[in-house]
Amino acid sequence: MFRYRLLSRYVMLSAIVILCIAFAQVSMAQQEITVGNDFGVGARAMGMGGAYTSVADDFTALYWNPAGLSHLKRMEFYGALSQEKVDKETEYFGDTNSTFTSNTRPNSFGIVLPVPTYQGGLAFAFGVNRVQSFDIRSKVKGFNDRTLVDDPELGQLSIDELTDESGGIYSWDFGAAVDIAPNIALGATLSVLSGRYDYSLKLDANDTKNLDSNITGISYQDTITTDYLGVEGKVGLLARVAKPLKLGLTINIPMSFSASEYWTQDTYYAYDDGTDDSQYDEGTFDYDISHSFGFNDISRSFRFLFRFNLGLSLLPIPNALISADVSYTDWTQTEYSEPPSTYVNEDFINDYRATAGFRVGAEYYIPKAGLMLRAGYIRDPLPYKPEGTEIKTDRQFITAGVGLIMDESFSMDIAYIKGFSKVLSNNGNISKKLDTNRIMLSADFKF
């Protein structure tokens, strides 16, 4: 009898370890942290809701629309900081817990170098922009009501889980633009992307109600550190259709994205008969992410469609500006060129969705005070929607900003960005509500 129980226990341990590893692999395969996670660049642009594709008249044109660089006639130094607080509320089978993170990071730094021309415009720009943020913390605590049949790993156990994520992606940019006609400018940006993602999960699951005949408790710790390096391009067009109306168009040209990952998994099991078992694993995992074509001899890669942005801006009355942007990406086209054994490409069709983003903003200049007042709205739908997930409130942002023009050479801008979303998963048993509060401060010096 003892030998039978011992054998059963080790079989169960092995199965759970395999499930944990498979779960981690599937999670990484399903939801890539760098997909659909844009942060936004520039205090003026974000104060106007990021509707900047057809405006793009400062250093941040490198990010929003490089064609706008040709309209800059003076050398420009630009710098910006961002402060972000992320509040996450998680409801797990009726129990609610809240967490928050707060970080101040460099957002943008760079220089614009216009070149004197006989007519039209020509300019170059260099700099760095923080284009993605991974800073978030979440806590899950409560009793898992699912039966052992429905959830053989954690069913009927009291769960206490804390997840910490941090890091981001910086884009090191070089851009140029030229007027190709009296009212048409063409520009391009070449970007080297680099960054890091740190992930830490600590899970304690205990049989507090004595419903499991084998397990007393499980402790699970998982860490992942991923370094990213990639190359991306962007082509932009900016045209003055009429005196008060401008049209902007950009196309992101994905090239390659590589990741080097180090992971650890430490699992401990306590059993009803007073014995325990533990398992520790670690390893490295290098892979390439291709956004437009596949690679040979790699662990895994995936690709998806090019991204397009179209913007319009209008001067309805003196000193007033209204702008709007739309974007579209069909994320269901994502696929692995060499899927891992636990995943198939058809799952991307089920887990991702096509998204159409919308941004609108307004700005009003008060000449006597040297003030610029701004407001905007962003709808940036979440691309990841696996089976059993319901998006109650899609990702949206409300923005406001103020600019101060001190003289013809120096200006400062500040923007506030309030974001919110709510997602139900596990067939409604888990609710995740996310609130973000960002402040961006920038300074622009021209000479």
pLDDT band at 303 (very low <50, low <70, confident <90, very high): very low
Name the token pair of 131.
């284009």
Name the token pair of 373.
């007042």
d(CA 61, CA 41): 10
d(CA 204, CA 219): 5
Spatial CB neighbours of 91, under 8 Å, sequence gap ≥ 6? 430, 431, 432, 433
Question: Can you tell me the mean pLDDT for 284-295?
Answer: 58
d(CA 282, CA 262): 7
Whole-model pTM above 0.75? yes
Region for 409 from its dihedrals, namely left if φ exceeds 0, alpha if ψ lies in -120 to 50, beta otherwise: alpha
pLDDT of residue 344: 58
Mean pLDDT of the chain: 85
The per-residue pLDDT for range 218-270, each reduced to its tens digit, is 999 999 999 999 898 999 999 999 889 999 999 988 767 788 889 999 999 99
pLDDT of residue 336: 52
The per-residue pLDDT for range 101-132, each reduced to its tens digit, is 999 999 999 999 999 888 889 999 999 999 99
pLDDT of residue 204: 94
pLDDT of residue 8: 38
| HSE-up of residue 404 (Cα within 13 Å, Cβ side) | 6
- Higher-scoring residue by pLDDT: 150, 184: 184
Structural domain total, the chain: 1
pLDDT of residue 34: 77
Structural domain that includes position 406? 2-446
CATH number, residue 260: 2.40.160.60
